[in-house]
Amino acid sequence: MNKCEIKNCERDTEDKFCTHHQMSWEAINSGFEEWQNALGTDLTWENYLIQLIEDDAVKTGDLAIDVAIFELEKVSDKKFD
């Protein structure tokens, strides 16, 4: 049994994320397609995540924000590497 990879979640899971964070991850993933459809394919994954986290007008759910932060950190780590 693993722990959910989201910081401070600590829930047991057999996958990468616990059930609720997995649901959020799926919503974020499918949401990206819809955002690109609405705003154009210029929108990058990183910009999309930043808007989900930081834009006050975007009322992203708390669990979805956890996953967006996790994904954004991954993007930053890759850049740093």
Partner 1 sequence: MEQYLIDVPKYVQSKPYTFGIAEKPSAAKRLAQTLDVKAKEFSIKVTKKGTVLHIVKGWLITKNKERIVILSALGHLFTLVQDGSGWQYPVYDFKWVPISQASNKLDQKFNNRIEATIEAIRQLANSAEKYLVLTDYDEEGEVIGALTLTQLVNNDALNQTRRLKFSSFAKKEINNAYDMARSKSTAGEINLGMYNRGLMRHYLDWLWGINLSRALMLSLKNYSGRYHTLSTGRVQGPTLSFVAKRQLEIDTYVPIPRFKIQIILKKYPDLAVNHKKGFIDQLNPAEKVYSSIKGKDGLIEEIVKNKRKISPPAPYNLSSLQSDAYRYHKITPSNTLRAAEALYLDAAISYPRTSSEQYPPDMDHLEILTKIGGRAGFKTIVKDIFTKNKKLVPKIGKKTDPAHPCIHPTDQLPTKLSGYNKKIYELIVHRYFATFGKDAVQESNRVNFTIDKEEFYLQGSRLVTKGWRAWSGVQGNTAKTELPKLKEGQTLAVSASELIKSFTQPAPQYNQSSLLKEMENNELGTKATRSEIIQSIINRKYMQGDPIHVTPIGMIVNEVLENYSPQVISVELSRELERMGDLVEQGINENSDSIFSLSDAIVQGILHLHRMLADLKSNEQQMGSLIDHGLRTQRKQELIIETCNVCNEGNLKIIRSQSTGKRFVGCTLYFDNQRCTNTFPLPQRGRLEKTKDKCKADGFPQLRVHGGKKPWLLCLNPECPIREEYLKNIENRKKESKKKAPALKKDGSEIKIKKTRLKGKPKKKPSVSKKDQLEIKIKKTKLKGKVRSNK
Question: Which chain residues interact with partner 1 by CB under 8 A?
Answer: 10-12, 19-20, 23-24, 27-28, 30-31, 34-35, 37-40, 52, 57-64
Which residue, 12 or 81, is less far from partner 1 as judged by CB? 12
| C-alpha separations of 45 from 57, 71, 75, 76 in Å | 19, 9, 9, 12
Which residue, 58 or 76, is less far from partner 1 as judged by CB? 58
How far is Cα of residue 72 from the mean position of the Cα atoms in its chain? 7
Minimum CB distance to partner 1, residue 48 (Å): 10
